[in-house]
Each structure stands twice: as structure tokens, then as C-alpha cells.
């Protein structure tokens, strides 16, 4: 979600709007190259997520694919106010529920959500997922 991070990869990227994607929930269960958890979406017909819609050129996705290892592109329909938009997101099935999430990455996620002024209740949902990961891993490491 972070504009700065995306612009480091795609300098011409610009955020257009925030949007809601139904039938998915936020999870940090994608296995990273360092064996820590990274953001992901899981299908859940009772949930929804918020995110940022960026304007990109078609060839930019090839560049993003290089960064987004073990994710697959998925075309989705999102709600931006009263408008429905086609968008591309990245989802991984290379997952584990037993992953720690690095502190720097947690801050990166939360800062991106705040930067784009996502709804407060959704930011709280993100915090709860991150705290759940932290508590679960503390229990694993401390028996």
C-alpha cells in the first residue's frame, strides 16, 4: 500500500483511489524468502479488505512480478465509493499460519494504511492480525 515503496519499483505509479474488495480477508501468511510472513489475501465470503488502486502501465506488471515472488496476479472487481473498478491484486497460495512477521514489515503495512487513510476499523483489523501472529509465535517459541 505504501506509495513510496511502489514508486521505488515503478516511479511513474500514482495512487488513484482507495477501494474495498469483498470476499477476502487480510492475512500475513505468505512465506517470504526469509521465512517470515508477508501480506496476503485469503478467500472469505464473510469478509472484505481495503486497499489502494494505482494507475500502472501494462508492462509495469512484469516489473512487479519480479518483486512479488510466489504471488500470482488476480483480476478482481473493487468498490471505490459508488464505482466498480477492475483491478489487479497479488495473492499467494504459498502460505503457512506459523510465521512471524518482522517488526519493520508490520510498521510498513500500518504506515501504508494510515498514509491512504483507510478506515479506522480496518486498520484495527490489520493490527489484530499482526498481534495474533506475534502472540501465536511467542507461544510457539516459549512452549
| Cβ-based neighbours of 14, under 8 Å, separated by 6 or more | 54, 55
Would residue 68 show up in a list of annotated catalytic residues for this protein? yes
Which of 86, 105, 5, 90 has its CA nearest to residue 40? 90
DSSP-derived 3-state class of residue 82: coil
Q: Which one of the listed residues 42, 68, 79, 115 is annotated catalytic? A: 68
Q: In what order do the strands lie in the sheet with 14-31?
A: 37-55, 14-31, 72-80, 83-91
Q: Binding residue per annotation — 105?
A: yes
Binding-site members for substrate are 105
Residues marked as catalytic? 68
Binding-site members are 105
Amino acid at each position: 500500500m505504501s506509495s513510496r515503496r511502489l514508486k521505488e519499483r515503478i516511479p511513474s505509479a500514482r495512487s488513484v483511489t482507495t477501494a474495498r474488495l469483498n470476499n477476502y480477508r487480510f492475512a500475513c501468511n505468505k512465506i517470504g524468502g526469509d521465512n517470515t510472513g508477508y501480506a496476503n489475501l485469503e478467500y472469505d465470503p464473510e469478509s472484505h479488505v481495503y486497499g489502494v488502486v494505482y494507475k500502472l502501465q501494462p508492462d509495469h506488471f512484469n516489473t512487479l512480478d519480479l518483486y512479488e515472488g510466489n504471488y500470482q496476479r488476480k483480476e478482481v472487481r473493487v468498490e471505490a465509493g459508488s464505482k466498480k473498478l477492475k483491478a489487479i491484486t497479488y495473492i499467494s497460495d504459498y502460505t503457512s499460519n506459523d510465521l512471524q512477521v518482522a517488526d519493520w514489515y508490520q510498521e510498513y503495512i500500518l504506515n501504508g494504511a494510515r498514509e491512504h487513510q483507510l478506515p479506522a476499523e480496518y486498520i484495527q483489523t490489520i493490527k489484530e492480525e499482526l498481534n495474533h501472529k506475534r502472540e501465536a509465535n511467542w507461544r510457539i517459541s516459549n512452549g
